[in-house]
Amino acid sequence: MALIKEVWVNYIQKALKQDAAFIMRGTDHSQYVSFGTVHLPQTGSDPTIVKNPTVFPLPINQRTDADRTYSLNQYAFEPTLITNIDALQVSYDKIEDVLGQKRAVLMERIGNEVAYSWAATGAANIVETTGSAVATSLPPGGTGTRKAVALIDIANLAKKLDKDNVPQTGRTLLMDADMFWELFTISDIVRASYNGFKTNALETGVVAQLFGFDIMVRPTVAIYAKTATSPTAVGTAAAADDRRACIAFHKSVVSKALGSITPMYDAGTNGAGNPTYLGKIFNMEVMLGSAIMRDDMKGVAALVQAWVS
């Protein structure tokens, strides 16, 4: 019996995914990916300075260092079967498209996980928004109102990093898209954008500079619960009182370790397909870890929506 033919267009409508270009702005520990855990030594207390000593011998102290670690996680999919009849009937390369889809989904998840791990914790490292109460930039599943982003909020992020004594160059502000466009309704920012920012967004992913930050944008960066001082883990169910957040960091205090993205398939012993499933089975995996490198959280800050109602 002849194969049943149907009409297929060559261009596949794909789900659009968030990219993860911002992770290249952190310290790269990818060379350590095969070891499973990355150790980040933390220096002990600074030595005491004695002015015009009169008592001898001077006291002897020993510096005790601490150890901060982060582990690599293995990410994979449930395997996908492409039957032999699929490969014969459809007019586009379904195998290539399946692998491309898996790659895109992995990169989105990687971006979400890295953003979560780089989001500051602790009240001292969080700046809350101070603008007017609005209901136009709620997080997924959110209700009520949150305070919009104000220009002074970005200045306060910069001030926090200044007080942390991190360099002026190499600072990044990764902004949630809704919060970014709130910021760009401020007249001073709009006028600056008309004059052009000194960057190539297509080349670098940086869409603007402000108060020493290179600003990058993705649809969602991090989520904090109503009164939380730490971000909500990726995959947590949305709550009505959640708050959107942006993250500010210096490149020297955040890190990631990313392994190769490895496609795998079972094509059977002769390449014609697995005889049990009458087709080829595909999967993909990646090893990934990321962290803030300092216990004291210096060099990182989060801009979190202030909850109103």
3-state SS record for 193-238: HHHCCCCCHHHHCCCEEECCEEEEEECCCEEECCCCCCECCCCCCC
In the structure encoding, which two tokens stand for residue 250, read together? 């210096």
Query: How many angstroms separate the CA atoms of 84 and 272, rounded?
Result: 8
Pick from 7-11, 26-30, 172-176: least confident = 7-11
pLDDT for 235 beyond 80: yes
pLDDT at residue 203 greater than cutoff 60: no
Q: Residues with Cβ < 8 Å from 88, sequence gap 6 or more?
A: 3
DSSP 120-132: --SGGGEEE--S-
pLDDT at position 262 over 50: yes
Distance CA 226, CA 243 (A): 6
Residue burial 200-238, b: 16+ Cβ < 10 Å; e: rest: eeeeebbbbebbbbbbbbbebbbbbeeeeebbbeeeeee
Which percentage of the chain shows pLDDT scores above 90?
A: 46
Q: How confident is the model at residue 268 (pLDDT cuts 50, 70, 90)?
A: confident
Whether the pLDDT of residue 195 is over 80: the answer is: no
pTM of the entire predicted model: 0.82
Question: For the chain, how big is the Rg over CA atoms in Å?
Answer: 25
Rounded mean pLDDT, 127-138:
95
Q: Where are the beta strands (DSSP E) in the chain?
A: 27-28, 37-42, 66-71, 73-76, 80-83, 126-128, 133-134, 146-147, 171-176, 208-210, 213-218, 222-224, 243-250, 254-258, 262-266, 279-292, 300-304
Contact 258, 26 (CB under 8 A): no
**What is residue 274's DSSP assignment?**
B
User: What pLDDT sits at residue 193?
Assistant: 52
Question: Which of 55-59, 144-148, 176-180, 184-188 is predicted least confidently?
Answer: 184-188
Q: 219, 176 in Cβ contact below 8 A?
A: yes
pLDDT on residue 2: 47
Residue type, 213: F
What pLDDT was estimated at residue 190? 60
Q: Give the residues across from 17 on adjacent strands.
A: none
Q: Are 66 and 44 in contact (CB under 8 A)?
A: yes
Rounded Cα distance between 277 and 274, Å, is: 6
Q: Above 70 in pLDDT, residue 85?
A: yes
pLDDT at residue number 33: 74
pLDDT at 41: 80
Of 57-61, 173-177, 299-303, minimum mean pLDDT range: 57-61
